[in-house]
Amino acid sequence: MPRVFSVALPPWLTHALRAQRGPVPWNAVVRGALAAGPLLLVAVIVGRESVGVMAALGAMLAGINDRPGSRRTAVHRIGVPGLAGAAGLVVGTYAGEGLGAVPLTLVLTALGLLAGAVNAVGPVSSGAGTQLLVAAAIGAGMPLPEPGWQRALFFLAGAAWLIALRLALPTPGALAHDFRFDGERVAVADVYDAIAELLAAAGGEQAGARRAALTAALDHAQDALAGPRLRRYASSSAERRLRAQYAAALPLAEAATALAWAGDALPARTAEGPRRLAVAVRTGEPCGPLPAPARSVPGLRALDDALLHAAETFDRGGKQTGGRQTGSEKTDGRHSAALHSNAGTNPLDRGARQTAHKGLRLRPLRAKALLRTVTGQGGREYGFRVALCYGASAAVAQALHHVHWYWLPATAVFLVKPDLGPLVSRVLNRAAGTVLGALVFAGFAAVLPRPEGLVALVAISGALIPVATRHFAAQTAVVTVLVLALVMVGGEPEASWSRIGETLLACAIVLIVGHLPAPGQRGGNVRARLDAATDAAHAYLTHVLSGADDRAARWALRREAYRKLAEARAAIDRAAAELPTLARHTEGTDEVAATLERLVDTTTACAVHLDDTGRLTPRHTERLATLLDELVEQRERAGLVDPPADLLSA
């Protein structure tokens, strides 16, 4: 038999080839087609091409942030970066008109420092910082007849147009139920499905991955339900029902995590109840009697109580679920009546009501905490890199061009974003995507009629953005075609080849700056997120061991611990795929994250056991002690700061 040789590619290269998978988001494709293209068409018809370019740019950048989720979440995710982009246009335009090359470069560098530090706060802040810098470069380097405030106004109008499309256009199946909450409904149903998958995987090799998937589903649903609203609390019965159904999933998720921690395989019927609840959320139909698990261990008893509570919650939402089934497939009316009589007095029901009413945000991000995040080690390191890359690329661009010099600094902004992947992966994908996009545009520009052909090209590119966001090179190629078509409609000559050269130059600048020694310790973003995850795990463990009976607070602390862990894990995975010269700065952090995950899982198992018996077994206490010792040793090996003193004595 011939010998088969396999070549293991390095992580920095395999990441560049990796793409997300999933069904085509046809609703987002339709929105993309109706966003930038029609705005540009209207501007061309009325003879205001430059205005159309600004509006289409706003719609294009908004389309990059148009991700799956609820409508209210989309308003925040698209609107905040849109406002930041409008502010960047104002600053860039007036600074470009009133300052020379050197003062302008200094202003843009300072702006890069600020925007880069703000990026450390979260995904929405990252999008806002990116649009701020891209729009500032466009305002300073793209000569247009309109004053800065008009540019900003039309840019904001383009983003607002996409938001209007997001709010107005239905998603598939949304018209069958309440039109306003289709994204929230899907997110809550996904939580119940993830609980079922975790129960089915208990005792197997996939249990860890299913627990991580449950965390992602809970995070997504929490964000969807916590979107911006005019009133502080839910104002409609449909929203109150969805929030109650989400709150009812939390004790189910807690019990499922505890059962997965125990490591024993479960009967297939154990996962059937959450699956029926998921179908009921999606369809609005009764879920029918829910199969009850055998109440043989604390985890199964907690799951049984949580299923019964979920059935009662769905009953109160106006649908008769038919109660809950025992092992002999009969309705367990005794337990149902008991839960009704104790509604509002037992901790589970009281915690779910508080959670549904007030949400899960125990510690919202205050101004002081926000400032601490921005000025922390992650914000400082990223701000320093962005400022150097943005300022250097702006200086080089102005030295090479008298006009139309915005492409180089705008490219550097996207290249320096760490949440788009490891540094070398970003550079390779950006270079390949720009070359492909420029070649494709050059071919179309040679045969398409102007301007109607270019307008059609903008519309087609806008429709492709939601699909292209699954891979950075594909997204770059589509955006390159769209932007080149826009600027040609605006009066700029065809510049495909110069854009390729400027992109490669930006790649070189970012690669050099990305490997320069930085003030302080490298890997600041990873270390900051691990410290936040450690603090959250400590707060959760302390609450559970204190014996407090506040379920709402416990679930909020548990959610925060898992969310912070997921953020830390994502940052660690990106850092591990860097070149060895950069990856070595975060060596050992993956072991810290894995220990923290086991610690939070164990804390959850302890909480369920304490609810059932009021005391911990030697297995629980020994496991906690072992994990705390491992955590201290691993943090020392990874060069992290000491954990909180209370965590060591917990």
DSSP notation for 253-266: HHHHHHHHHHT---
pLDDT in tens, 502-554: 899 999 999 888 777 766 567 778 888 898 899 999 999 999 999 888 888 89
Residue 212 has pLDDT above 90, yes or no: yes
pLDDT class for 210, splitting at 50, 70, 90? Answer: very high
Token pair listed for 639: 């060069």
Cα distance between residue 415 and residue 505, in whole Å:
11
3-class secondary structure per residue, 104-147 = HHHHHHHHHHHHHHHCCCCHHHHHHHHHHHHHHHHHHHCCCCCC
Residues 6+ apart with CB under 8 A from 520: 377, 380, 381
Q: Which residue has the tokens 């950075």?
A: 472
Of 236-245, 262-271, 366-375, 609-618, least confident by mean pLDDT is 366-375
Cα distance between residue 461 and residue 522, in whole Å:
38
Exposure string over 12-45, b if 16+ CB within 10 A, otherwise e: beebbeeeeeeeebebbbebbbbbbbbbbbebbe
pLDDT class for 290, splitting at 50, 70, 90? Answer: confident
Residue 433 has pLDDT above 70, yes or no: yes
Cα distance between residue 417 and residue 152, in whole Å:
24
Residues 6+ apart with CB under 8 A from 48: none
Residue 175 has pLDDT above 60, yes or no: no
Of 391, 332, 364, 360, give the one whose Cα is nearest residue 136: 391
How far from 378 is each of 216, 274, 381, 520, CA to CA, in Å?
A: 23, 39, 5, 11
Cα distance between residue 149 and residue 131, in whole Å:
16
Q: Which residue has the tokens 């922390």?
A: 376
Mean pLDDT of the chain: 84
pLDDT in tens, 456-466: 999 999 999 99
Averaged over 269-291, what is the pLDDT?
87
The 3-state DSSP class for residue 290 equals strand
* Half-sphere exposure (Cβ direction) of 236: Cα atoms closer than 13 Å: 10
Q: Which residues pair with 331 in a beta bridge?
A: 325
Cα distance between residue 473 and residue 574, in whole Å:
17
Cα distance between residue 57 and residue 406, in whole Å:
13
Axis crossing angle, helix 367-375 with helix 101-118, rounded to the nearest 10: 120
Q: Determine the Cα angle at 234 with ends 232 and 236, to 5°.
A: 140
369 or 27, greater pLDDT: 27
Strand duo 324-325 + 290-291: pairing: parallel
For residue 170, the tally of other CB atoms under 10 A from its CB is 11
Averaged over 199-226, what is the pLDDT?
91
Looking at residue 513, its pLDDT comes to 85
For residues 506 and 393, the answer to whether their CB atoms sit within 8 Å is yes
Residue 415 has pLDDT above 70, yes or no: yes
Instruction: Tell the burial category of 484 from Cβ atoms under 10 Å away from its Cβ (0-12, 13-18, 19+).
Output: buried
The 3-state DSSP class for residue 571 equals helix
pLDDT class for 326, splitting at 50, 70, 90? Answer: very low
Averaged over 92-115, what is the pLDDT?
91
Cα distance between residue 2 and residue 78, in whole Å:
55
Cα distance between residue 60 and residue 530, in whole Å:
34
Of 8-12, 276-280, 533-537, 594-598, least confident by mean pLDDT is 8-12
Looking at residue 329, its pLDDT comes to 40
Residue 332 has pLDDT above 50, yes or no: no
pLDDT class for 335, splitting at 50, 70, 90? Answer: very low
Looking at residue 10, its pLDDT comes to 75
The reported pTM is 0.86
Looking at residue 168, its pLDDT comes to 85
pLDDT class for 345, splitting at 50, 70, 90? Answer: low
Token pair listed for 391: 């300022």
Q: Read off φ and ψ for residue 510, nearest 5 degrees.
A: -70, -40
Q: Give the distance from CA 575 to its chain's centroid.
A: 17
Mean pLDDT highest for which of 215-219, 521-525, 578-582? 215-219
Cα distance between residue 356 and residue 352, in whole Å:
6
How far from 312 is each of 160, 194, 270, 336, 622, CA to CA, in Å?
A: 41, 21, 18, 8, 37
Averaged over 180-186, what is the pLDDT?
79
For residues 54 and 144, the answer to whether their CB atoms sit within 8 Å is yes
pLDDT class for 325, splitting at 50, 70, 90? Answer: low
How far from 471 is each of 77, 151, 384, 408, CA to CA, in Å?
A: 20, 30, 27, 21
pLDDT in tens, 131-142: 999 999 999 988
Of 429, 439, 486, give the one whose Cα is nearest residue 460: 486
Omega before 451 cis (within 30°)? yes
Of 485, 427, 426, give the one whose Cα is nearest residue 36: 485
Task: State the sign of the Cα–Cα–Cα–Cα dihedral 132, 133, 134, 139.
Answer: positive
For residues 587 and 563, the answer to whether their CB atoms sit within 8 Å is no
Q: Which regions of 270-375 does DSSP assign to beta strands (E)? A: 290-291, 324-325
Cα distance between residue 438 and residue 643, in whole Å:
50
Residue 650 has pLDDT above 90, yes or no: no
Looking at residue 191, its pLDDT comes to 95
Of 339, 353, 198, 317, give the one whose Cα is nearest residue 263: 198
pLDDT in tens, 41-91: 999 999 888 899 999 999 999 999 888 777 878 888 999 999 999 999 999
Residue 493 has pLDDT above 80, yes or no: no
Q: Which residues pair with 324 in a beta bridge?
A: 290
